[in-house]
Amino acid sequence: MTTASTALRRHARYGPPDHYLSPPSAGMCLSVFALVERGSEVLVGVPKRHERWTSEWLLAWHFYTEEELKEALLEKRLPSTYLWEGEDPKAALRRIMNDQLQVSKSRAGGPRVLSYYSPSDWYPGNSHWDLAIVYPVKLLQPVRRPPWWRVLGFVEKSRLRAKQFGWNADFVRDLGIVA
């Protein structure tokens, strides 16, 4: 993925064509991530096939081929969710912490926003825009592995590689959590 350049020269203002621009031709995703670090470790997981992923956090998986979904279910990921339309990113972070991680005691810092504009695999010749809102989070209680995670735990950053995160490779590299 590459960061969008000013050469695009379109404002991100989308809606009906009589007053707005159309969204990017290969779509746009607005996501919130919880970056939970503990010293030199970061909380990462590998999801398990579970209805909650496609109903609450990653609706896009409904549109994956079986092969794409199998691949996604092998990749490491940070706790995250797509934003619901109109949702405050802080509310999405609460959904991650309370629902996805089942943690009720945590403290979040101010968000960091990363933007990626990259060629689409699904729509060749078109680009997709990802806007990632990342909150640093400090846990105030232990985290356990809920049933929708195959693996969830703290991992030494030095043991992580960008390719383990699939399409999030550039993203985790930019966050500085992979070697």
CATH of the domain at 127: 3.90.79.10
Residue 106 to residues 16, 94, 151, Cα–Cα distance (Å): 40, 10, 21
pTM of model > 0.75: yes
**Which residue, 178, 156, 174, 167, is CA-closest to 39?**
156
Arithmetic mean of pLDDT, 99-127: 96
Residue 8: the pLDDT is 57
Residue 9: the pLDDT is 67
Q: Look up the domain containing 80 and give its range.
A: 14-175
Arithmetic mean of pLDDT, 29-53: 97
> Does the pLDDT at position 61 exceed 80?
yes
145: phi then psi, degrees, rounded to nearest 5? -90, 110
Please state the domain count of the chain: 1
Residue 1: the pLDDT is 47
Structure tokens at 98: 């309370």
Arithmetic mean of pLDDT, 99-117: 97
Query: Domain for residue 62, yes or no?
Result: yes
Average pLDDT, the chain: 92
